[in-house]
């Protein structure tokens, strides 16, 4: 009897200590800042739901600023960071968007301790670790891998129109585009400004190839070389096949045009798969089709969404708990199936068909076997200064259609931003 009593006492002490440990977890408010609002929100919301289960004493403020690719959010973030009012954690692309903006300005905390503590040094691909690191530290936690160079279409509609998926941009411009126009179909869906840049990066990759594309960022490809000028020539011909209403559309609305059959093709990152599956309830491979954008078979243009810990975060403990969850295999398997991306953490359960649909399985297979290059528009290869100046370069092209003048402007902007220096 006494033994039993002692056991019960010991057990209740263990429980009490366990309870105390829980009680000592993070508390207070945690502000997570991103551009995943509205249609883009479900994956982040699911992760936050899990976070609140794990840390019930934390109230999460899911602070979002709408606008695809962070066009608006990044500006708001800049004001807040410079004003000494950082969120506790914020979305930032792995690569130069992170390093060239916030790390060189010494605004981030080094997260090497967390990577070591969590065993992440062996759980993330080396190439990705390189993107988020400098000699001084590791600066963010990647939550996913997205692919930029995907061509989306509606298989039933293509069959109805008797049109094949083009393998090259030349075939698209010379055959696919006129065939569709003759049927009164918009050959290429497109949206607001940044989606034009997004299209451009897939076209440039196709025309320049892996070496040529990488060379733009390390200085071995000149922006004024005949090959780089030729990118603008073909790009102009492609734009002539694009939706005339593009400027007023979000990327989701451009995607909608593929689903409805108003337009035939769309080049967009695979968050479009997340939108079509999670928000619209469509089935990949049946309701929508996908291939690498023309001329980029075997190449995976990657980008990675990550979250960092700014210096001076008001609730550092809660932010570290957040980063711990989103870097874990568990967190990534909650987030990515809804987002349309694959886990960055190699322990993610990506071959599980109950979690990852056929599109995501194919992306995961390509991620393993393809040649990997980085995205310009989504922060991997160039700092934000270059990207914002590139918007002006694009305006010059849209206003003049002059490939050589645009290439000259791009070269000047690259020099100014220290690209390839």
Conformational region of residue 281, where left means phi above 0, alpha means psi within -120 to 50, and beta covers everything else: left
d(CA 389, CA 223): 14
Question: Which CB atom, from 338 or from 414, has the smaller least distance to ligand GAL?
Answer: 338
Residue nearer to ligand GAL on the CB measure, 185 or 196: 196
CA 356 to chain centre: 17
Residues at the site binding ligand GAL, with contacts judged by CB under 6 A: 35, 40, 68-70, 146, 251, 269, 271, 303, 305, 378
Distances (CA, A) of 370 to 118, 127, 353, 408: 28, 14, 21, 32
Min. distance of Cβ 340 from ligand GAL in angstroms?
8
**Which residue number, 180 or 360, has a Cβ lying nearer to ligand GAL?**
360
Q: How far is the CB of 250 from ligand GAL (least distance, A)?
A: 9
Q: Which residue sits closest to ligand GAL, CB atoms considered?
A: 68
Residue 338: CB minimum distance to ligand GAL, A:
12
The structure tokens listed for 381 are 């290869």
**Sequential DSSP letters for 375-417:** -TTTTSSS-HHHHHHHHHHHHHHHHH--HHHHHHHHHHHHHHT
Rounded to a whole number of angstroms, the minimum distance from the CB of residue 315 to ligand GAL is 24
> CB neighbours of 4 closer than 8 A, spacing ≥ 6?
none
Whole-number Å distance between alpha carbons of 10 and 15: 9
Give the list of residues 6+ apart from residue 109 with CB closer than 8 angstroms, or none. 308, 309, 310, 311, 313
> Judging by beta carbons within 10 Å of its beta carbon (0-12, 13-18, 19+), is residue 267 exposed, middle or buried?
buried
Burial class (CB in 10 A: 0-12, 13-18, 19+), 5: exposed
Decide whether 41 or 215 has the Cβ nearer to ligand GAL: 41
> Of 196 and 234, which has the nearer Cβ to ligand GAL?
196
CA 388 to chain CA mean position, Å: 17
How many other CB atoms are there within 10 angstroms of residue 225's CB atom? 16
Q: Min. distance of Cβ 305 from ligand GAL in angstroms?
A: 5
Closer Cβ to ligand GAL, 251 or 290, answer by number: 251
* Residue (144 or 406) nearer to ligand GAL, CB: 144
Tell me how far, at minimum, the Cβ of 32 lies from ligand GAL, in Å. Answer: 14
Please, what is the minimum distance in Å from the beta carbon of residue 137 to ligand GAL? 23
CB of 191 to ligand GAL, least distance (A): 10
The pair of three-digit structure tokens given for residue 121, joined into one six-digit string: 């040094």
Q: How does DSSP classify residue 38? A: G
Cβ proximity to ligand GAL, 87 vs 209, nearer residue:
87
**Nearer to ligand GAL (CB atom), residue 221 or residue 336:** 336
CB 124, min distance to ligand GAL, A: 17
């Amino acid at each position: 009897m006494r033994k039993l009593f002692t056991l019960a006492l010991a057990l209740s002490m263990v429980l009490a200590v366990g309870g105390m440990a829980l009680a000592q977890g993070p508390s207070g408010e945690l502000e997570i800042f991103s551009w995943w609002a509205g249609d883009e929100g479900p994956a982040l919301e699911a992760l936050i739901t899990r976070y609140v289960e794990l840390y019930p004493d934390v109230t999460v403020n899911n602070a979002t600023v709408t606008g695809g690719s962070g066009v608006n959010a990044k500006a708001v973030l800049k004001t807040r960071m410079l004003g000494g009012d950082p969120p506790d954690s914020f979305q930032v692309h792995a690569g130069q968007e992170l390093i060239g903006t916030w790390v060189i300005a010494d605004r981030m905390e080094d997260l090497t301790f967390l990577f070591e503590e969590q065993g992440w040094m062996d759980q993330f691909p080396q190439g990705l670790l390189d993107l988020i690191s400098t000699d001084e530290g590791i600066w963010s936690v990647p939550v996913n891998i997205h692919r930029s160079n995907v061509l989306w279409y509606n298989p039933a509609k293509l069959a109805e129109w008797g049109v094949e998926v083009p393998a090259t941009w030349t075939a698209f411009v010379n055959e696919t585009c006129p065939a569709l126009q003759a049927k009164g179909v918009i050959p290429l869906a497109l949206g607001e400004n940044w989606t034009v840049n997004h299209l451009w990066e897939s076209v440039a990759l196709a025309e320049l190839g892996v070496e040529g594309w990488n060379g733009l960022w390390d200085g071995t490809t000149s922006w004024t070389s005949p090959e780089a000028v030729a990118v603008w020539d073909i790009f102009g011909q492609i734009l002539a096949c694009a939706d005339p209403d593009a400027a007023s559309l979000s990327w989701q609305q451009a995607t909608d045009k593929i689903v409805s059959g108003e337009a035939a093709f769309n080049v967009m990152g695979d968050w479009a798969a997340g939108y079509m599956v999670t928000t619209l309830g469509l089935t990949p491979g049946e309701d929508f089709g996908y291939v690498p954008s023309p001329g980029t078979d075997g190449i995976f243009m990657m980008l990675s969404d990550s979250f960092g810990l700014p210096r001076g975060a008001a609730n550092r403990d809660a932010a570290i708990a957040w980063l711990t969850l989103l870097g874990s295999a568990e967190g990534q398997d909650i987030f990515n199936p809804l987002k349309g991306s694959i886990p960055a953490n190699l322990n993610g359960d990506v071959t599980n068909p109950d979690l990852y649909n056929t599109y995501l399985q194919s992306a995961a297979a390509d991620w393993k076997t393809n040649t990997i290059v980085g995205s310009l528009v989504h922060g991997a290869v160039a700092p934000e200064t270059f990207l914002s100046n590139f918007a002006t370069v694009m305006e010059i092209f849209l206003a003049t259609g002059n490939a050589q003048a645009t290439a000259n402007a791009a070269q000047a902007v690259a020099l100014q931003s220290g690209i390839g220096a």
